[in-house]
Structure 1
């Protein structure tokens, strides 16, 4: 494949301001650099920078093929699907009276499916937002492999109130993977070429730091350092309102307009850094107040997290709804998940203020949050992104997306109804959520199989 240098941009008349040029994704502007570049291929297939007098500058680019990218995202999808199915099986087994612990059922989703998805897509969106060339998949594959081994060790050990060597080793591997991912994001941000869109990347850094705090809390609880109940309550809020929520906030700013084919909200982009500061302050206060068993005051800061989150998300959602003639099920699923996130944050904060036990409240809302927020976001993104990564041309991608999103609203309704049943502690919730998830995975699997079949024949 021969790479052609981009043509120089034509000068704009003085004082003229471009309108209607908001990219659907920051990566779409990669070819819009003002200066021409020339690429010389090295024998290893990697383009290097060798300035020559009288010639144009040459830029270092890693040639990562679309086929390799498709294989990577397909593999990531398989890992996530396996963990989701394992979690459903664990919940069904618990409902039937089998000896499956609450720890195993919850962390099969949170650490197995959700953390794996977040690591993968933080990498994808960080590269796009910072306009950095692809770095290949070996490093992120190694980080996700560390994460998988750590989670499996925790699943085998199934810790209750006291930890031993196996639990400590699992937590250590997850911590190493998290710190490695954190360092990778920081180095990409430092070399960023796009300050306008890279302003969302610090939210990913804060999310990974929140995961480190959550791990620290649970390790301290496992080894008897401090109040077990308070540390576990703080662990849950740092993981969900920090690691998960911060990742969602950073991603939807560009992801939701991409899914819906609308412009990025400049209002939300301007709010991202102030919102990050306020959210971080509220989260840190929630963590230390719960550790020292002051849940009522922690609930006040929980209200703050909900208010700041709504302040940040409102221009994104309203902009998408206003500009779209009709939402497909993928962007609609993300909008529903955002509304569910804010509702559950408000529920948690109100319960803490009213004096409910923090651990009981967390155990009450966690199944609903896993289904209506985390699974719904991941499944909605996969319906849009996986056909894109497989490729085959715009027509093939669009057809695969349409196939994957058929009956999408019915699947969303199943998951939301299941979430409400979980909040009211009905055992039927796992049936509704399981049907919605399996239906979505089946639709996506069939759509991508037909897309790959078309590629092989083409």
Structure 2
């Protein structure tokens, strides 16, 4: 029940993760510290008593006390992390570590007090594992202190993951399988299992020590060597179990789930060994470890945990009829659940479009979460059947044909989910159509290699004899993700730096244009031309992609929108400035979102955190911000925080869909600072919604009655429901200029104030191209703060505008003398007429 409670919390956070602070950390630790650690504490104690033939009489009270203390510490730890209270994290982490040490000492005493046992080496696995959690908890407590230097933090991340996953969990699982695996299969133990387990434990511990030492020292190659050693030792320990599998094939959910989990563990270790061996910095090593998080936690840990519980829950229930009824319930849909979970996970770890990953991850969650209602049903059925006479034995096995059909249905659901994601976003999957050519073939093939320099194809003119078949090898020698599309419809997939793709353009019969289809890259000059040779001037010129964005909204569309009211139920972007946060560990997901930007006008924005502008972050001088950027979008993105001063090489790098990075900076100077995507073309990424504000309070900032934040930006409208028009951006011809992402929204939902209240308005000019001259009609500013300095303080004069260039910010303060409606605008009046307009409604 304790494990089920933590697993239920895990499912709730997984469903609502976008709205829960620290959701990524919570998902990992609700599973690791919550569900898995409780299962280890409970069952390692139980198995120790059973293997040592020791009576559990008198041990229940101390075991229960440990369990209560552990869960209290775990809850305190989670609360401390979510609330950003490091002393609370320290207390909770110390309790968790202390209970794990207490558990290990208890097992050691039981081992020494017992008579020599054939399976004493399994208990030694548990004792060794129990020594790992205090070490891992110590690393975690240190990591929770946001004042750590960046590289030290990344080293601790890698060490923390290795000790907890491969030590605390991995050693427990490998030790338990010695006896539990043949028991689950209902076959005799293979001859070499015990010997391999006894000899493998020192090798596993030594390899883990090497890997952790390499992680802490910041030497990825040493970490890779430790990972390889652990993999080799694990294979040595597991290999004898193959004989048991040959004799009795896994056929139920429990055995198949555990087997799938072990396969995911070994596969993850192989990948991780290679990734660590090729990493050059601790940051890259930590990123490599992060890339196998889903495989290790969902693939290995969850499946081993669910498989073991499926077998063990009926054991706890007892009674032949009750056991049989419980097992029948827990086996429902076994093949379907296993097929969906593993096929969906496999899709999720591949380089796929973001929408496909989201759909498949939902299917995986459904497959795993279905265990909870089945477990409840199993307990209820067992209670009802307890004491009922029944023949001994297990439930009738499901026929193989039915299992195969069920597994195939699960696989089909995953395939349909992936297909739906691709259908919704075919460009992200690199799909295209190829036009047939009626040109007479020459029988020859022209092969050309095209490289990338900056934002140019080299060469950018390809001379090809008429009738030749053209084959282009695209070598991405640039620093961003690119593709090549030809006007006849042929294209390459999008490839990363250092990768190569081949395009078969078919027969060449006329001039053709080519370009990179990544948003904005064509406008930055990533074009080429296929020039046919050996024919006259009557050659056809094929260009299926005009330079202008087809279907872009017109000025008349914009005019109608600006004169209209939003739909009923419209909710304005919250302009209220947040209070400075105690914790600055934030996950920002880069996502593609359909958002209304003016009445009746919708655009497909790229956002930070689902909104444009992104969430306002606020702190004080000296605060450390740790931002985890997760790219859930369809193209590469990055992030640049003006509030920090640091080398941009690593934290501001572009990450591809499905990747993440950690950006850590210390706020050393006050002001309102821009953050934005810095992926090229930067103007397009900012114009399409990827910007936000960070407020760092001046040390002498006094409280006021009301505080608002207004971020001004431009919108260069593409087609309805489409993305920004790159040509309009290049021409600096915006359709709308807006505060907080929506034209004239505060005309319809005014800011509120009262007569005599002091109001502070923070203003940031996000651009990408235009600044602002912020003015409140009918008001006068007695305080003006811009770019880190006070230009005006009370009783020294007045100001009518706050003038800002693009990417500059500040605040103004004023009091309203009487009730009324006070418009605020950018006093570049054409911008006010484009939507940079709102109202402050002042009441008595």
**TM-score, with structure 2 as normaliser:** 0.43
Say yes or no: does 1:92 pair with 2:19: no
Distance 1:90 1:270 in 2: 42
- Correspondence list, 1:216-365, <5 A: 216-223=138-145, 227-316=152-241, 318-324=242-248, 327-355=251-279, 357-365=284-292
> Does the 8 Å CA contact 2:96/2:134 hold for their aligned counterparts?
no
Q: How many residues align?
A: 377
Q: CA deviation at 1:457?
A: 6.5
**Residue matched to 2:316:** 389
Task: Pick the aligned partner of 1:438 from 369, 372, 375.
Answer: 369
Structure 1 portions without partners, runs of 5+: 1-77
Shift in Å, 1:246: 0.3
Partner of 2:239, secondary structure, is: helix
Contact 1:192 1:198 (C-alpha < 8 Å) held by counterparts: no
Give the 3 Å change call, closer, same or farther, for CA 201–307 of structure 1 in structure 2: same
Partner of 1:412: 338
- 2:74 aligned residue: 151
Structure 1 Cα separation of the partners of residues 250 and 101 of structure 2: 41
Kept after mapping to 2: 8 A contact 1:283/1:301: yes
Deviations 1:209-261 (A, max 9, x none): 11122112223334467812101210111111111110000001111111110
2:60 to 130, 137, 161: 137
* 2:314–2:323 CA contact under 8 A, matched in 1: yes
**Over 6 Å off, 4+ runs:** none
Show CA shifts across 1:376-428 (max 9, x none). 111111111111211123x4423422332232122122221332244247223
TM-score, normalization by structure 1: 0.78
Residue-by-residue CA offset, 1:166-197 (whole Å, 9 max, x unaligned): 01100111011101101111011112234211
In structure 2, distance between residues paired with 1:325 and 1:334: 13
Contact 1:150–1:173, Cα closer than 8 Å, also in 2 = yes
Q: Distance in 2 between matches of 1:238 and 1:410?
A: 34
Partner of 2:799: none
The 2-side partners of 1:100 and 1:225 are apart by 19
Question: For residues 86-235 of structure 1, what are the structure 2 equivalents within 5 Å?
Answer: 86-94=9-17, 96-135=18-57, 136-158=59-81, 164-223=86-145, 227-235=152-160
Q: Distance in 1 between matches of 2:24 and 2:329?
A: 36
Deviation at 1:281, TM superposition (A): 0.7
Contact 2:204 2:230 in 1 (8 A): yes
Indicate if the aligned counterparts of 1:260 and 1:324 stay in contact, CA closer than 8 A. yes
CA offsets, 1:354-390, max 9 Å, x none?
1171222222222222211111111111111111211
Alpha-carbon distance between aligned partners in 2 of 1:457 and 1:397, rounded to the nearest angstrom: 11
Structure 1 residues 194, 266: CA separation in 2 closer, same or farther (over 3 Å shift)?
Answer: farther
**Residue 292 to residue 181, structure 1, CA distance change in 2 (3 Å):** same
Change (3 A) 1:448 1:98: closer
Aligned-pair CA distance for 1:98? 4.3
Task: Write the distance in 1 (CA, Å) between the matches of 2:148 and 2:104.
Answer: 26
Partner of 1:47: none
**1:124 and 1:300 mapped to 2: Cα distance?**
35
Task: Report what 2:431 is aligned to.
Answer: none
User: Which is further off, 367-376 or 125-134?
Assistant: 367-376
Bigger-Rg structure (1/2): 2
Alpha-carbon distance change, 89 to 422 in structure 1, aligned in 2, over 3 angstroms: farther
Structure with the greater relative contact order (CA < 8 A, sep ≥ 6): 1 or 2?
A: 1
Partner SS, residue 195 of structure 1: coil
* Alignment root-mean-square deviation, CA: 2.1
1:370 aligns with 2:271: no
What is the aligned partner in structure 1 of residue 385 from structure 2? 454
Aligned residue for 2:54, secondary structure, equals coil
Q: 1:100 & 1:171 partners in 2: Cα distance?
A: 17
CA distance in 2 between partners of 1:234 and 1:309 (Å): 19
How far apart, CA to CA, are the structure 1 residues paired with 2:143 and 2:249?
51
Unaligned runs of 5+ in 2: 390-844
